[in-house]
Amino acid sequence: MATKHDPSTVAERQESKLKPPPMYQVMILNDDYTPMEFVVSVLQRFFGMGREKATQVMLKVHREGRGVCGVYPRDVAATKVELVCSYSRQHQHPLQCVMEEA
Ligand code: TYC
């Protein structure tokens, strides 16, 4: 067909218009009651950290008040927040987990 667009040209134009999806930092907040060991286990279980990295992040949060556990697309970040909060409540700990746009 003479009027048909060259598909490669169309694809190129669409590609350049698509913005990358916004990313979200998932953070944990310090509190006075959650045991350090529990926080380390959460960072290992839900954020795939090794024990050393998890311990470093936990201590940073303990000293500075908050810290980043990972950066994810919105749905993944929201799911992590829910899982960490419900897991912490199941274990009777007040650990807070939040997300904010990166
Ligand atoms: N501050 C807590 C304690 O002294 C440990 C802790 C670290 C709690 C990080 C929460 O996100 C947190 N037991």
Taking the C-alpha atoms of residue 8 and residue 33, their distance in angstroms, rounded to an integer, is 58
Confidence band, pLDDT 50/70/90 cuts, at residue 17: confident
**Residue 43 Cβ < 6 Å to ligand 1:** no
pTM, full prediction? 0.85
Residues whose CB falls within 8 Å of the CB of residue 72, separated by 6 or more in sequence, listed in order:
23, 24, 26, 80
**In this model, does residue 14 exceed pLDDT 70?**
no
User: How far is C-alpha 37 from the chain's CA centre?
Assistant: 20
State the burial class of residue 25 (Cβ atoms within 10 Å of its Cβ: 0-12, 13-18, 19+): middle
Task: Quickly state the pLDDT bin for 5 (edges 50, 70, 90).
Answer: very low
Distance 28 CA to ligand 1 centre (A): 9
Residue nearest to atom 12 of ligand 1 (CA): 30
Atom 4 in ligand 1: residue holding the nearest Cα:
32
Q: Residue of the nearest CA to atom 7 in ligand 1?
A: 62
Residue nearest (by alpha carbon) to ligand 1 atom 2: 32
First-last CA distance in the chain: 47
Which pLDDT score is estimated for 22?
A: 96
- How far does the centroid of ligand 1 lie from the alpha carbon of residue 74, in Å? 26
The tens digit of pLDDT for each residue in 32-89 reads 999 999 999 999 999 999 999 999 999 999 999 999 999 999 999 999 999 999 999 9
pLDDT at 12: 55
Q: What pLDDT score was predicted for residue 15?
A: 64
As a whole number, mean pLDDT of residues 22-39 equals 98
